[in-house]
């Protein structure tokens, strides 16, 4: 499956190997000029840096964008069996921030799905708080992920238990996804994206998800199964925005509404009508619009002509 040029990520300005707290090595990339406003992007379950390609291209070259692969994903190392937890997600994000963002300079930190949970888990860490000027939580939730999921529909009564079992299996069974076929493509689109999603974005989603190993996928799924980050939300007291698609089956909009109510400094709840779970693929321009607004409002006027122009364009 060959991706069109418009969906391929540009060549990074730099590639780093970042060591996390337990020694796990992470793949990270830096795009754009050093003196531009910094945006750090954290991807979700079963994804990789490739997932951000449409957002990266839509943002353009006037931002400094940091991407990294979550452990067990993409080109980052697969951890030992005990290396899967919300603490490990926070450790990894903090390690990447320390390696790419100078303390006190500030960055907009955005996370999609498990990437948003990563931000929540890191909310009380000094390494995070000294570098995050504002955050975007996209298509994510803090707790009760399985009871609210709607992949198996919204069936009432006795089918609720069957639906819960299906969702648990979806998260935790370490079976290979197998080759990409019209059936597997249609199934993945149904679970993660809206019915009218562009075909090329569905293709990119399929490519990214099928590349994730079955064991890391299942072990991270087990973490998500019982995740509860509600206590962490009170520490996430920097300016924040929450974004979600109204047709999201994995983290329905009720999660976004709860986050917006619980966050101490939530500026806006952005609901995208008819959009599914993969908002950065389905609505990259809208996601970029929110990121530009956060940069404009909370990163000030950094030095450098390119950075100043970026802020001007974001206004």
**pLDDT confidence band for 148 (50 / 70 / 90):** confident
Higher-pLDDT residue of 6, 200: 200
Whole-structure pTM value: 0.91
The pLDDT score that the predictor gives to residue 1 is 57
For 92-112, give one letter per residue: b (16+ CB within 10 A) or e. bbbbbbebbbeeeebbbbbbb
**pLDDT confidence band for 312 (50 / 70 / 90):** very low
The pLDDT score that the predictor gives to residue 159 is 56
pLDDT at 23 over 60: yes
- Mean pLDDT of all residues in 20-30: 98
* Cβ–Cβ under 8 Å, residues 210 and 180: yes
21 in the Ramachandran plot: left (φ > 0), alpha (ψ -120 to 50) or beta?
alpha
* Cβ–Cβ under 8 Å, residues 278 and 244: no
pLDDT at 307 over 70: no
Mean pLDDT, the chain, integer: 90
The pLDDT score that the predictor gives to residue 179 is 87
Long-range contacts formed by 309-314: CB under 8 A, 24+ apart: 309/62, 310/36, 310/37, 310/62, 310/63, 311/37, 313/62
- Mean pLDDT of all residues in 29-46: 97
pLDDT digits (tens, 9 = 90+) for 166-194: 667 777 777 678 889 999 999 999 999 99
Q: Which has the closest alpha carbon to 271: 239, 241, 233?
A: 241
**% the chain with pLDDT above 90:** 78
**% the chain with pLDDT above 70:** 89
**pLDDT confidence band for 310 (50 / 70 / 90):** very low
> What is the SS3 assignment for the chain?
CCCCHHHCCCCCCEEEEEECCCCCEEEEEEECCCCCCEEEEECCCCCCHHHHHHHHHHHCCCCEEEEECCCCCCCCCCCCHHHCCHHHHHHHHHHHHHHHCCCCCCEEEEEECHHHHHHHHCCCCHHHHCCEEEEEEECCCCECHHHHCCCCCCCCCCHHHHHHHHHHHHHHCCCCCCCCCHHHHHHHHHHHCCCCCCHHHHHHHHHHHHCCCHHHHHHHHHHHHCCECHHHHCCCCCCEEEEEECCCCCCCHHHHHHHHHHCCCEEEEEEECCCCCCHHHHCHHHHHHHHHHHHHHHCCCCCCHHHHHHHHHHC
The pLDDT score that the predictor gives to residue 161 is 64
**pLDDT confidence band for 209 (50 / 70 / 90):** very high
What distance in Å separates the CA atoms of residue 43 and residue 114, rounded to the nearest whole number? 7
pLDDT at 239 over 80: yes
pLDDT at 198 over 50: yes
Mention every residue, 6+ apart, whose C-beta is less than 8 A from residue 269.
241, 242, 243, 244, 256, 257, 260
pLDDT digits (tens, 9 = 90+) for 241-273: 999 999 999 999 999 999 999 999 999 999 999
Residue 38, Cβ neighbours under 10 Å: how many? 27
**pLDDT confidence band for 163 (50 / 70 / 90):** low
pLDDT digits (tens, 9 = 90+) for 75-134: 999 999 899 999 999 999 999 999 999 888 899 999 999 999 999 999 999 999 999 999
The pLDDT score that the predictor gives to residue 308 is 42
């Amino acid at each position: 499956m060959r991706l069109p040029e418009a969906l391929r990520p540009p060549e990074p300005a730099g590639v780093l190997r970042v060591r996390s707290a337990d020694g796990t090595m992470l793949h990270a990339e830096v795009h754009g000029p050093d003196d531009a406003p910094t945006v750090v992007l954290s991807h979700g379950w079963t994804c990789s840096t490739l997932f951000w390609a449409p957002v990266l291209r839509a943002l353009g070259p006037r931002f400094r964008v940091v991407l990294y692969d979550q452990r067990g994903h993409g080109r980052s190392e697969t951890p030992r069996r005990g290396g899967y937890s919300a603490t490990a997600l926070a450790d990894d994000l903090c390690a990447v921030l320390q390696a790419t963002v100078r303390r006190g300079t500030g960055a907009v930190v955005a996370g999609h799905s498990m990437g948003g949970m990563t931000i929540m888990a890191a909310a009380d860490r000094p390494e995070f708080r000294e570098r995050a000027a504002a955050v975007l939580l996209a298509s994510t939730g803090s707790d009760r992920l399985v009871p609210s999921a709607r992949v198996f529909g919204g069936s009432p009564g006795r089918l609720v238990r069957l639906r819960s079992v299906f969702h648990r299996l979806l998260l935790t069974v370490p079976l290979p996804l197998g080759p990409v076929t019209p059936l597997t493509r249609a199934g993945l689109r149904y679970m993660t994206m809206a019915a009218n999603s562009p075909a090329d974005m569905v293709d990119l989603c399929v490519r990214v998800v099928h590349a994730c190993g079955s064991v890391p996928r299942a072990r991270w799924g087990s973490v998500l199964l019982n995740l509860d980050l509600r206590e962490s939300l009170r520490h996430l007291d920097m300016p924040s925005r929450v974004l979600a698609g109204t047709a999201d089956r994995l983290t329905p909009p009720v999660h976004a509404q709860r986050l917006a109510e619980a966050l101490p400094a939530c500026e806006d709840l952005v609901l995208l009508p008819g959009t599914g779970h993969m908002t950065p693929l389905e609505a990259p321009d809208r996601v970029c619009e929110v990121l530009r607004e956060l940069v404009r409002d909370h990163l000030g006027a950094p030095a450098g002509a390119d950075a100043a122009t970026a802020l001007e364009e974001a206004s």
